[in-house]
Amino acid sequence: MAKETEIDSGAGVDPDGDPVVQKAELVQALIIGGGAVGLFLLTFTFDEVSESLAQGIGPAVFPRAILLILIFLAVLLGYRALKPTLESAAKYKPAKSIPKIVYLSAGLLTLFVVGLNFIGALPSVVVFCVALSLLWGERRYGLIAVTFAIFTGAVYLLFDIALNTNLPTM
Amino acid sequence: MEMAYQVLVFLSDPYNLLLIIGGTTLGVFIGALPGLGSVVMIALLLPFVVRMEPLPGIALTAVIYVAATYGGSITAILINTPGTPAAAATTFDGYPLAQRGEAGRALGIATFSSATGGILGILAMIVATPLLAKLAFYFGPAEYFALAVFGMSMLASISGNSVIKNLIGGAFGVLLGTVGSDLATGIERFTFDIPDLSEGIRPIQMMIGLFAGGELLRQSTQLGIKRELVADAVAKLPSWDDIKRLWGTVLRGSGIGTFIGILPAEGGTVAAMIAYNEERRWSKNKDEFGKGAIEGVAAPEAANNAATGGTMVPTLALGIPGGGSTAIILTAMLVLGLRPGPQLFEEQPEFLAGIFGAMLAANIYFLFLGMIGAKFFSRISMVPATFLWPMVFVMAALGAFSVQQSLFDVTLMLIFAFLGYFMRRYGYAPAPIVMGLILGELIEGSLKQSYLIYDGSLLAILQQPIALVFLALSVIGISSPLIGKLILNRKERMMPVGDPLDE
């Protein structure tokens, strides 16, 4: 059902057996490096430390050091993607598109979290469990009804009664 | 003697015994469910554990860690799917044994080896933890800084993943630790004017999202995979002949597991793979491996369970997690106000005795549980994902909410769930982030203290002998994959053409 579809078969080695650019790794390097550079620049917007507290290492120094390390690692990742060794080319798996089921499942997770705010916890639990189960191909409706009814009751007992959590309500 | 007495006191409390029995049963159950392992389960339990008394709470997580590590072997043998990553090596010979009708024998050997390895690992932990903690009396900020850097450097040597990606994960975790108000100055860092971020990224919500939420999305791509139970077996006690044949294997596996476990950032998965490879390397019957050699079941099972004791050593003695599960256990300890290290041994010896006792008892209990319940636990692995995972996510989300009754926490958990999925998809293990988050605070704090102590000269850290040793080990740790490759290349060059490389 949720088979991953291959969209990029240009990775690994070319017809002459030479390693070719690993596009997915290069994109990762660019995202990580770009993000780190952006955050590095952001450290210059941190509030100034008052003189009475300005002793020792300032609050921006350590994050900057870590971000520089991240930038260095992203450059290394990018370099390896541009100039892969034969060994890494042999191991390299072509990039595949993310299956639709992942997006749909992620959408349901998001709706569940949004639902907690608007319709309350217990209705959200029921709707989410049934919807995800159906989305994933379950068709034993009776079993779905019984299982998730019992589970919702257990959630109520555990969180509301035993742990005294004020679960979100409508 | 004092320790033994305190262990007995802990075990004589019916509440504690009930906790051990319940935790071990739950742990084996969780271990037998592919996708759910000790890391996911302990992360899911964190919101409940932090409401418990410290000793029973941490003992429960430790017991689940031990039992889930064993539980993974059941499905590895019967359906060729390791319940936990640590049981991956067990499939190599466990499943072929089951296929040829010896599933009961394989299960018995796995149970016996796991329990023996686990008990030996814990005995080593009882001896090594206080010794290591005593060493920590000589530690100041410089030494703690170097030790935490050493812990991070070990991420480079975790096998199976890219060194660079592990280090990126670790650095990202350290960076996450800087989010929130700076403790010394109160200056806000990376909070984006979100008041909920002022106190920093909450580790419990982050871990629940990364491990449980990320795994749910991964599971959505595994729905077509059919699992078949190759045998419906009851574990059989190993025969005397098998025990005579395996005792050396179990001892070697236990030794490797304990040692690998003690190294920061390594863990049961690495230990099991190394133990399997070493057993095959030195075996007189190399050809049997992969086809159903009983040594191929005993070695990784002894090693991964011995590693549970080993990984607790640096966690309890120094506050440096030995692996993914112990990183979460350490988080729970910190949230409960327990600071690992020599003070813990001085001030609360009963706490450590309780943890030792709980883990020992769990190993003994799963020996019986595995023998009588393997058939039941193997069927649990057939629970459909369509029912299991919706429930797991609900527990994750409401657990994340329940700690501070905050919907922001649930949103944070969700963001980390997406991050966890994408990380795994592109070859970034989530455990280094957790290691980074925990060790990052230690690194920054001790670095700042050292700066003040040594009047702004950070080079003075290198003049502290213990710190220097750890920093030197860190350099070796980071360069170890490179050194390994150089040695291999050299070996290849020196080998006459046509000679097959030794596996």
Q: Are B320 and B264 in contact (CB under 8 A)?
A: yes
Tell whether A18 is covered by a domain: no
A17-21, A129-133, B50-54: segment of lowest average pLDDT? A17-21
Q: Does residue B386 or residue B381 have the better pLDDT?
A: B386
Q: Which of B136, B156, B145 is nearest to A62 (CA)?
A: B145
Do A30 and A54 have their domain in common?
A: yes
Comparing B392 with B34, the larger pLDDT belongs to B392
What are the domain boundaries of chain B? 2-481
The two structure tokens encoding residue A168: 């979100």
Out of A66, A74, A163, the one facing B402 most closely (by C-beta) is: A163
**Statement: residue B502 has pLDDT above 70:** no
Residue in B188, B190, B224 closest to A2 by CB: B224
- pLDDT at residue A4 in the model: 42
Chain A, residues 31-50, CB within 8 A of chain B, namely: 32, 39, 42-43, 46-47, 49-50
Contact list in B for residue A164 (CB cut-off 8 A) is: none
For residues A21 and B453, the model is more confident at B453
Assigned domain for A132 exists:
yes
Instruction: Retrieve residue B45's tokens.
Output: 């339990």
The two tokens of residue A18 are 């030479």
What's the CA gap between B267 and B273, in Å, rounded? 10
Question: Is the pLDDT score of A1 beyond 60?
Answer: no
pLDDT tens digits along A66-79: 999 999 999 999 99
The predicted-structure confidence for A25-35, as pLDDT tens digits, reads as follows 899 999 999 99
3-state secondary structure of A6: strand
pLDDT surpassing 50 at residue A59: yes
Number of domains in chain A: 2
**Gap between the Cα atoms of B157 and A82, Å rounded:** 24
Give me the residues paired with residue B181 across strands: B188
Residue A5, domain member (yes or no): no
Measured CA distances, B372 to B112, B297, B304 (Å): 13, 19, 22
Question: Which residue, among B43, B38, B39, has the nearest Cα to B67 in the 3D structure?
Answer: B38
Question: Which of the listed residues A41, A64, A91 is the one where a domain comes to its end?
Answer: A91
Which element (helix H / strand E) includes B51?
none
Q: Is residue A129 part of a domain?
A: yes
Domain stop point among A45, A71, A91:
A91
- Mean pLDDT to the nearest integer, B446-468: 89
CB proximity under 8 Å: A 65-84 to B: 66-67, 69-70, 73-74, 76-77, 80
- Find the mean pLDDT for residues B431-442: 88
pLDDT confidence of residue B56:
94
Shortest CA distance to B444 belongs to which of A49, A56, A42, A43? A56
Is the per-residue pLDDT at B174 higher than 80? yes
Q: At what angle do helices B349-380 and B2-11 cross, to 10 degrees?
A: 50
Q: How far apart are CA B29 and CA B374, in angstroms?
A: 10
Q: Which of B44, B145, B164 to mutate to test the interface with A (most CBs of A within 10 A)?
A: B164
Residues A2, B220: C-beta atoms closer than 8 Å: yes
User: What pLDDT, on the 0 to 100 scale, is given for residue B494?
Assistant: 64
Q: For residue range A84-131, what is the model confidence (pLDDT) as tens digits?
A: 877 777 777 766 789 999 999 999 999 999 999 999 999 999 999 999
Task: Say yes or no to pLDDT of A169 above 70.
Answer: yes
Nearby residues of B378 by Cβ (< 8 Å), 6 or more positions away: B32, B74, B75, B78, B79, B229, B232, B233
Q: Does residue A145 lie within any of the structural domains? A: yes
CA distance B216 to B211: 9
Distance from CA of B19 to the nearest CA of A (A): 17
Among A42-56, A62-76, B321-335, B414-428, name the one with the lowest average pLDDT. Answer: A42-56
Q: How far apart are CA B114 and CA B28, in angstroms?
A: 12
Q: Is residue A11 part of a domain?
A: no
The residues, any chain, with a CB within 8 Å of residue B423's CB and separated by 6 or more, are: B169, B210, B214, B429, B430, B433
User: Do A83 and A105 fall into the same domain?
Assistant: no
The residue segments making up the domain with residue A156 are: 100-162
Looking at the structure, tell me whether residues A120 and A153 fall in a common domain.
yes
* Residue A128 to residue B171, Cβ atoms within 8 A: no
- DSSP lists the bridge partners of residue B145 as none
Q: Are strands B180-181 and B188-189 parallel, antiparallel or unpaired?
A: antiparallel
Note the pLDDT of residue A5: 40
Largest CA-CA distance found in chain A, in angstroms, rounded: 69
Q: Output B412 or A169, whichever has higher pLDDT.
A: B412
The reply to whether A37 and A64 lie within a common domain is yes
The answer, yes or no, to whether residue B331 has pLDDT greater than 70, is yes
Q: Is residue A72 part of a domain?
A: yes
pLDDT of amino acid A39:
97
pLDDT at residue B495, rounded to an integer: 58
CB contacts, 8 Å: A76 with chain B: 164
Q: How high does pLDDT run on average in chain B? A: 87
Q: What percent of chain B has pLDDT over 90?
A: 43
- Chains A and B form CB pairs within 8 A to the count of 159
Cα–Cα distances in Å, from A57 out to A65, B452, B458, B460? Answer: 12, 8, 11, 15
Tell me, rounded to whole angstroms, the distance of Cα B262 from its chain centroid.
11
Q: Which residues contact B56 (CB under 8 A, 6 or more apart)?
A: B15, B16, B19
The string of pLDDT tens digits covering residues B214-237 is 989 998 988 877 666 666 666 778
pLDDT band at B202 (very low <50, low <70, confident <90, very high): confident
The alpha carbon torsion through B35, B41, B47, B49 (nearest 10 deg) reads: 180
Mutate to test the interface with B, among A51, A110, A114, A136 (most CBs of B within 10 A): A136
DSSP lists the bridge partners of residue A13 as A19
Vertex B205, ends A101 and B220: CA angle to 5°?
A: 15
| Distance (Å, whole) CA A31 – CA A35 | 6
**Per-residue pLDDT, A37:** 98
**Gap from A129 CA to chain B (nearest CA, Å):** 5
Query: Quick one: tokens of B327?
Result: 């990183």
Give residue-wise pLDDT tens across range B396-420.
Answer: 999 999 988 899 999 999 999 999 9
**Optimal mutation site among A5, A105, A117, A128, interface B, most CBs of chain B within 10 A:** A105
Co-location of A119 and A147 in the same domain: yes
